[in-house]
Chain A
Amino acid sequence: DAKTTQPPSMDCAEGRAANLPCNHSTISGNEYVYWYRQIHSQGPQYIIHGLKNNETNEMASLIITEDRKSSTLILPHATLRDTAVYYCIVRSPTGNQFYFGTGTSLTVIP
């Protein structure tokens, strides 16, 4: 599975959009991009995933560039409860493993 690169930390003002970037320049054509988040001392929580098209659900939006070498997770109106470590993962359809990097620690500031 391809590796991902994320900034180690970011801040965001409460109520503003949080845009978390992820680079996955070696991604293969059949690999999906997944996003998870981990609030302190809890298990990671699934947020969203996508292949080529942009995706949106009740939690977030996922924007994948046309060349698929990078993506951005958008939390449209960040709240204090969104403070967490956010992980970007790429995974093949046949791959059984989920490999996590070190993620981005997002702090939402009041």
Chain B
Amino acid sequence: SQTIHQWPATLVQPVGSPLSLECTVEGTSNPNLYWYRQAAGRGLQLLFYSVGIGQISSEVPQNLSASRPQDRQFILSSKKLLLSDSGFYLCAWSAWTPGMNTEAFFGQGTRLTVV
């Protein structure tokens, strides 16, 4: 069966420090991968998605970047965190099948607090 791992679960970082959040998927090949952010009391905002290694699409211009160095690895990064980067970060994957809908599966999230 497929599983998604996301770590760390919680993170407290000072303003101006770098960030690296990692997400890995097991049990599937060539998944679509997603990073979402959820500010306190708000809905989910799609930040990045990737349909393959090295292919990253950015949905919202911001202080963050994403990379996909391996088929089942998705990394969210920042060189210098801002207070506004605080939030709940979620990684998700969906199977890629041409012309067919597939549901997305989410990790358990990382709660980032920038202080």
Contact = CB atoms under 8 A, between A and B. Distances in A.
Contacts, number: 55
A43 interface: yes
A46 to B, nearest CB: 4
A85 B100 CA distance: 27
B61 interface: no
Given A32-B101, A93-B100, A100 B43 contact: yes
Q: Interface of chain B, helix or strand or loop or mixed?
A: strand
Q: How large is the interface on A (under 10, 10 to 19, 20 to 34, 35 or more residues)?
A: 20 to 34
26 contacts: A32-B101, A38-B44, A41-B109, A41-B111, A43-B108, A43-B109, A44-B44, A44-B92, A44-B106, A45-B106, A46-B105, A49-B101, A87-B43, A93-B100, A93-B101, A96-B32, A96-B49, A98-B46, A99-B46, A100-B43, A100-B44, A100-B45, A100-B46, A102-B42, A102-B43, A103-B43
